[in-house]
Amino acid sequence: MLRYFFNTIILAMAISASASADMKLVALGTGTPNADPERSGPALAVVVGGKSYIVDTGPGIVRRAASAASGGIPALAPDKLDTVFLTHLHSDHTVGLPDVMFTSWVLERAVPLRLFGPTGTAAMAQHLQEAYKADIDLRLNGLEPATPEGHKVNVQEIRAGVVLDEHDVIVEAVPVLHGSWKEAYGFKFTSGGKTIVISGDARPSPALIKAAKGADILVHEVYSDAGFKRREPVWQKYHASFHTSASELAAIANEAKPKLLVLYHQLYWGTSDEDLVKEIHAAGYDGAVISAKDLEVFEP
């Protein structure tokens, strides 16, 4: 479904997956730990030409990617999923990692998965390899054909700064504040003079605001101010430390001034996509805002 948004001129639009462009943002999953059947777990893809770069691996990611591929983005076919960035190691952002590691291999990925993430990523990948050791052995040495390298994972544990520079794509890790996590990152993708900045899970984070200044697309998590007021104090304390409210995001956007602000990982608590957008505008931001749904595609 197409959704067009105007702010004196068309600043951006959610497009059908059949359209083509040099750089795209695909919302594979916009959900949270809440088991919403309409929203898979947090996972985004930046697609440049015929190459996909995945950010986070929430539950349902490979099937969502396959759906995007069948809709006209072949770079998201399961066997093409070979580069992943993890913002942090919360379970809702990583329980789809074995899906990417092994389902993509079973579906004929021929090369090892490249995995970028914070400290602990290598241990997580190693434990998953051990957990699926019997499966790997049977597929490599049994009757079922299997590519010999596709089950492997090459891990790079990252620090702030450029973590990948290839094929006119530069990926920078941006440190963000996410409660008591010692390491959490957002990511800035630059290609062809266009930029997409992804917050990951984060409360307002100065480094992210700096990275997002003038971005073509800023993708940021958010929770509803109105819904927050109905939460119990213990949850209010948690969310205020780990996440970003709609009014806080309005202030971030006013400072960063992205061409398009895309909301994901939305915590509604009885509100709606439209309510979140209204809250951001009511807090003083008058730029273009879209509250994303799974499988929507955005072009800078």
What does the pLDDT profile of the chain (300 residues) look like in tens digits?
334 333 322 333 443 333 334 899 999 999 999 999 999 999 999 999 899 999 999 999 999 999 999 999 999 999 999 999 999 999 999 999 999 999 999 999 999 999 999 999 999 999 999 999 999 999 999 998 999 999 999 999 999 999 999 989 999 999 999 999 999 999 999 999 999 999 999 999 999 999 999 999 999 999 999 999 999 999 999 999 999 999 999 999 999 999 999 999 999 999 999 999 999 999 999 999 999 999 999 999
The domain 12-159+168-293: what is its CATH number?
A: 3.60.15.10
Rounded Cα–Cα distance for residues 223 and 94 (Å)? 21
Task: Give the distance from CA 209 to its chain's centroid.
Answer: 17
Domain extent listing, the chain: 12-159+168-293
Residue bearing tokens 């072949």:
74
- Phi then psi for residue 2, to 5 deg, are -95, 140
Identify whether the C-beta of residue 252 lies closer than 8 Å to the C-beta of residue 220: yes
Question: 198: which strand partners?
Answer: 187, 219
Which pTM value belongs to this model? 0.92
pLDDT at 11: 35
pLDDT at 5: 36
Identify whether the C-beta of residue 198 lies closer than 8 Å to the C-beta of residue 217: no
Strand arrangement of the beta sheet that strand 217-223 belongs to: 161-166, 169-175, 185-191, 194-198, 217-223, 260-267, 289-291
Strand arrangement of the beta sheet that strand 51-55 belongs to: 3-7, 9-15, 297-298, 23-29, 43-48, 51-55, 83-85, 113-117, 153-157
One-letter amino acid of 112? P
What are the CA-CA distances from residue 137 to residues 103, 140, 153 (Å)? 15, 5, 15
pLDDT at 212: 98
Identify whether the C-beta of residue 14 lies closer than 8 Å to the C-beta of residue 296: yes
pLDDT at 17: 35
Rounded Cα–Cα distance for residues 184 and 119 (Å)? 10
- Residue 3 is inside which H or E element, if any? strand 3-7
